[in-house]
Structure 1
Amino acid sequence: MSRIRMTLPIFHSKFLSYAKGWKTKNKIIVIESDDWGAIRTSSREAYERLKSDGYALDKSPYALDSLETESDLTELYSVLDNIKDYRGRSACFTANMILANPDFAAIKASGFKDYFYEPAELALKRDRQRRNVLALWKEGRNRNIFIPQFHGREHIRYWEWLEALKNGSPEAHETFTLNMCGVPLRASKETQSFYLPMYLDDHELKSKSVNIKEVITEGVKLFEKTFGYRSLSTVAPNVTWTPTVEKIWYDNNINYIQGGLTQIIPNGNGGKRVAHYTGERSLFGGLYLSRNCTFEPSKSSDSGYWQISLKQIRRAFAFKEPAILSTHRVNYIGNIKSENRDRGLNQLKSLLDAVLDKWPDTIFLSTPELGFMIENNIQSIDALEIRGEQIFPLVS
């Protein structure tokens, strides 16, 4: 029964998308990539130590995820910059950013009683492989190949993590010493993960003394301080959020809501799935932008995996929809295993080369550009290109 409840909204969402979703004659590709700036596995040495201690890290591709290095970004940029649409514009990632991570030293100093966070850029500056990552983020934005947007302040259910530390969880403490917040669920000895949806229902957050408005608003401010412009779009961690969160986004001038075919609304009982389509208005006047394609090569050993994504793009274009791809940072990270990054980049290149071969008139856009087109009923790409100051509004 639960599988039926999960499947029906997805079919409903596909129907809504085909029937009511925003249509365009342009063949638009938007690539939305989540989790940039977040810590995960801290180092190759930490990975090997945890494996030797019996953690089944091979069971989850997310064990290969790590805070991006300079080489991760430069190699990604090289691929994107060499793939250009008919206008001469390079392929681009909408990079959904995490702006803060736990402050391990401060948490330990409190005796694990209190939670503290620090801006992501501080962790970058402490590591010689990452000292120029912040500059590379900004360079990517200036080159229109890596477009930062807001994902969240942090990407962990930090109150449950802190509780596990207080209660003496061996796994939480062992990974804490490695500057990590646990391991992926499938790798866990204690069958626990803290990389879970943060935006829970109001009652549950209140019971945990979590002020989600403060969490989101502080994250937005960190984004604006880091990049100097406002993020017009966002995606909730684990694509799970509530109407309360939508109101907080609205109050922070976030207009475009990225997400999958369905939204999971926490209700204290497993969550409710609600179908959305691209161009649909939210309760507060924002726009939903529904991802209709996936590209996650880290989850597959098949060298032809990219062809699945190509079929999804073909379907989107057949229904005159923009192809909005979901792809996570882990696919392009080589700090733990370089072959993971190599596979991801090779498959990305194969996919985008095939797209341009089949549809030479393809247009690469970022999420805020697509949202702006839909909101303002723009069909001409030329009309869009002169609106940059409205799409990336500077912080006054």
Structure 2
Amino acid sequence: MSIRSIRKNISRNLVNFSGWRTERKIVVIESDDWGSIRMPSFETYQNLLRQGIRVDKCPYNRNDSLASEDDLSALFDVLSRFNDKNGNHPVITANTVVANPDFEKIRQSNYMDYHYEPFTETLKKIPVCYNALELWKQGMDYNIFHPQFHGREHVNILLWMKLLQSNTKIFRIAFDYGLWGLGKEIVDTGKINIQSAYDTLIKEDILFQKDILKEGLILFEQVFGFKSKSFIANNYIWDDKLNKTLSEGGVSILQGMKYQISPIYRNKSRRLIKHKTGEFNTLNQVYLVRNCHFEPSVFPETDSVISCMNDINNAFIWHKPAIISSHRLNFIGSIIESNRTRNLKFLDQLLQKIIIKWPNVEFKTSVELGNLIESQRLKNLLKSEIFNSV
């Protein structure tokens, strides 16, 4: 066994060692970045390469884009082939940013004022996405696609506007092509990633972030007709002070990795806050911690099916739900079609293996899992109160 394999095995066990347990074989697929532009089109991708901007170096810039009608249809086709022991299909918890920058209005302000548009308006501007929202709704109706809140937009507004106002060449060029999210492999923006909406060097920016979250949660409800019960921060970076704003907006479930990353502020290093699935904070929000990964576009050299199966197996050994991280870019083919074709084949193989190995598997959304943990906690509290009153 290689040193890398040993480290991976240790990591699997550490993330599953503590937290909420269940005898049930529960699988949740959490997928981030839905609604965000990232790379607008294959033509834009080629034009940026011609200008010397190496967007081919970043898997997100190379593969990720708004999901086209073909992307959604192909994904839904795979999901609808399978059923768990209760007859439910695998379901994607589609963590969605509900807005994108309004490039034209920002340009008209000479880069002095930030403006945004609902992602539903962005979809209408792209021919292959024009009717995509109808497919979102179909996926929701068939219980294979369940949107949740990932933020208002997936850009650090204050950093981006500063870069535009200072006429930073690479970001001005990207702006002219309708994008902002250049990966760290392409350009170094310092301590803060351009994609990290809730990172900051200044603590006072928290007030600005709270307003963004409030507006985003309202827009989410306007678009989908229901409140988002869960949230996951862009790049897993957010301050605990935002939790109250999220709670007031209806969020009682916090998705994430085993570490919450605090904003850097003016510190030399970031504070990492460890969480475990089933942990509750003082606002009674429950944490869900991802313990499995299916990211073939990010790690093309890894056998993503076998690796994810090993993750799931370890979760079940520890009596934990298997919470799979699988970002949107894995299912997108509008930039490079083979990316979608290859990865959906892998997804099909993964789902087949899951059902064969664990025929009593249950596919759930993040909200369903969070609700289950919350209800079990309530029952335990009631039992404790009854016992103490006797």
Q: Percent identity?
A: 37
2:388 alignment partner in structure 1: none
Give SS of 2:303's match.
coil
1:44–1:336 contact (8 Å) kept in structure 2 = yes
* Superposed CA offset, 1:36-87 (max 9, x none): 0001111101101111222222221111211111111110000001121122
1:102–1:117 contact (8 Å) kept in structure 2 = yes
TM-score normalised by L of structure 2 = 0.89
> What is the identity, as a one-letter code, of the residue corresponding to 1:298?
S
2:49 alignment partner in structure 1: 51
Q: Which runs of 4+ in 1 moved over 6 A?
A: 10-13, 189-193
Q: Does 1:200 align with 2:184?
A: no
> Could you tell me which of 19, 25, 28 is aligned with 1:27?
25
1:154 alignment partner in structure 2: 153
Matches within 5 A, 1:5-20: 15=14, 17-19=16-18
Q: Does 1:243 align with 2:240?
A: yes
1:216 alignment partner in structure 2: 213
1:284 alignment partner in structure 2: 283
* Superposed CA offset, 1:174-232 (max 9, x none): 1111111152121238889853322236x7152x6961111001000111000101111
1:264–1:271 contact (8 Å) kept in structure 2 = yes
2:254 alignment partner in structure 1: 257
Q: Does 1:103 align with 2:120?
A: no
Structure 1 distance, partners of 2:101, 2:155, is 9
Matches within 5 A, 1:1-396: 15=14, 17-19=16-18, 21-63=19-61, 64-188=63-187, 195-200=194-199, 204=202, 206=204, 211-268=208-265, 269=267, 270-302=269-301, 304-377=303-376
Structure 2 distance, partners of 1:372, 1:188, is 41
Task: Could you tell me which runs of 5 or more consecutive residues in structure 2 were left unpaired when the two chains were aligned.
Answer: 1-6, 379-390
Task: Could you tell me which runs of 5 or more consecutive residues in structure 1 were left unpaired when the two chains were aligned.
Answer: 1-7, 380-396
1:4 alignment partner in structure 2: none
Q: CA deviation at 1:90?
A: 0.7
Structure 2 distance, partners of 1:182, 1:237, is 12
Give SS of 1:148's match.
strand
Structure 1 distance, partners of 2:253, 2:50, is 44
Q: 1:330 and 1:243, CA in 2 relative to 1: closer, same or farther beyond 3 A? A: same
Of residues 266-275 and 212-221 in structure 1, the stretch that sits farther from structure 2 once superposed is 266-275
Q: CA deviation at 1:300?
A: 2.8
Structure 2 distance, partners of 1:294, 1:263, is 17
| CA-atom RMSD in angstroms | 2.3
Give SS of 1:253's match.
coil
* Superposed CA offset, 1:366-388 (max 9, x none): 00000000000189xxxxxxxxx
Q: CA deviation at 1:94?
A: 0.3
Counting matched residue pairs gives 368
Q: 1:73 and 1:195, CA in 2 relative to 1: closer, same or farther beyond 3 A? A: farther
Structure 1 distance, partners of 2:68, 2:155, is 21
TM-score normalised by L of structure 1 = 0.88
Structure 1 distance, partners of 2:24, 2:188, is 49
Give SS of 1:129's match.
helix
Structure 1 distance, partners of 2:340, 2:190, is 28
Q: 1:332 and 1:13, CA in 2 relative to 1: closer, same or farther beyond 3 A? A: closer
Q: 1:361 and 1:13, CA in 2 relative to 1: closer, same or farther beyond 3 A? A: closer
2:106–2:113 contact (8 Å) kept in structure 1 = yes
> What is the identity, as a one-letter code, of the residue corresponding to 1:174?
I
> What is the identity, as a one-letter code, of the residue corresponding to 1:188?
V
